[in-house]
Amino acid sequence: MIRFEHVYKTYPEGNEALQDVNLHIDKGEFVFVLGHSGAGKSTFLKLILHEEAATSGKIIVNGFDLTNIKKKRIPYLRRSMGVVFQDFRLIPSMTVYENVAFAMRVTNVKESEIVKRVKYVLSLVGLSHKKDSYPTSLSGGEQQRVALARALAHSPKLIIADEPTGNIDPEMSIEMMELLTAINSVGTTVVVVTHEHDLAHQFNKRIITIDHGTVVGDDHPCKFAKGGRRG
Ligand code: ADP
């Protein structure tokens, strides 16, 4: 799914954001990528989306080798995953329904399929009743769930949630984590990028810790933990 081999990223100003990062996230996993501000999390995400290219090293995402990826392949790479951005990135002039449908219209999906799928993903995130609302009339938690519905619209094998607790209250955060857990349980790989140590440790999931641009920890879930949470 995601493989980093000896990945370095140095920005033009000379900032070394990532140094010799090696990691492998497999199909079906649920992984937290945890790190303080400035640790390199956004850079990690930008490399996965190929918004930035690595300075050196090998990155493979969903079968795409990003080393010499052709420009025309980049939209396919991005469509192979769904990203829930911290600031949601919803289009304010479009209804909830349109925000989700819009993401599907860029592909060649039939309108009748879009209608069905949008209905389904909105029900999945519990927002069927808000389909005609505009993003500004929704709470932060609801906007985030629209962003999740949109990320799920084209049935990606990989969902990435960027700082899911950043712009919503704690109760909503738990709800979002439960939704992500449910999505993972049907086979979708989930990567949650966060600076929140407590959030990552609340669940019995793999935690990859980044500090100053390097992987300093990779803790796998305890097989013998009762329930889903770490005790
Ligand atoms: P995080 O998301 O964990 O806060 P970042 O990946 O944003 O970390 O940043 C890692 C390091 O790279 C920081 O030292 C930051 O200043 C630097 N950095 C990030 N983006 C840029 C950029 N576009 N240009 C120069 N330096 C950058």
The DSSP element (H or E) to which 117 belongs, if any, is: helix 111-124
Q: Give domain status of residue 119, yes or no.
A: yes
- Structural domains in the chain (count): 1
Q: Is the CB of 51 under 6 A from ligand 1?
A: no
Domain that holds residue 130: 92-155
Q: Give domain status of residue 100, yes or no.
A: yes
Q: How far is the CA of 45 from the centre of ligand 1 (A)?
A: 11
| Per-residue model confidence as pLDDT tens for the chain (231 residues) | 999 999 999 999 888 999 999 999 999 999 999 999 999 999 999 999 999 999 999 999 999 999 999 999 999 999 999 999 999 999 999 999 999 999 888 778 899 999 999 999 999 999 999 999 999 999 999 999 999 999 999 999 999 999 988 878 878 888 899 999 999 999 999 999 999 999 999 999 999 999 999 999 999 987 776 555 554
- Residue 188 · residue 31 · CB < 8 Å: no
The DSSP element (H or E) to which 209 belongs, if any, is: strand 206-211
Q: Give domain status of residue 126, yes or no.
A: yes
Question: For ligand 1, what atom is nearest to the CA of residue 36?
Answer: 3
Is the pTM for the entire model greater than 0.75?
A: yes
Q: How far is the CA of 43 from the centre of ligand 1 (A)?
A: 6
Q: Give domain status of residue 107, yes or no.
A: yes
Q: Give domain status of residue 204, yes or no.
A: no
Q: Give domain status of residue 113, yes or no.
A: yes
Q: Give domain status of residue 137, yes or no.
A: yes
Looking at residue 138, the DSSP 8-state letter turns out to be S
- What does the pLDDT read at residue 230? 52
Instruction: Name residue, tokens 């086979």.
Output: 187
**Could you tell me the end-to-end alpha-carbon distance of the chain, in angstroms, rounded to an integer?**
29
Nearest residue by C-alpha to atom 1 in ligand 1: 38
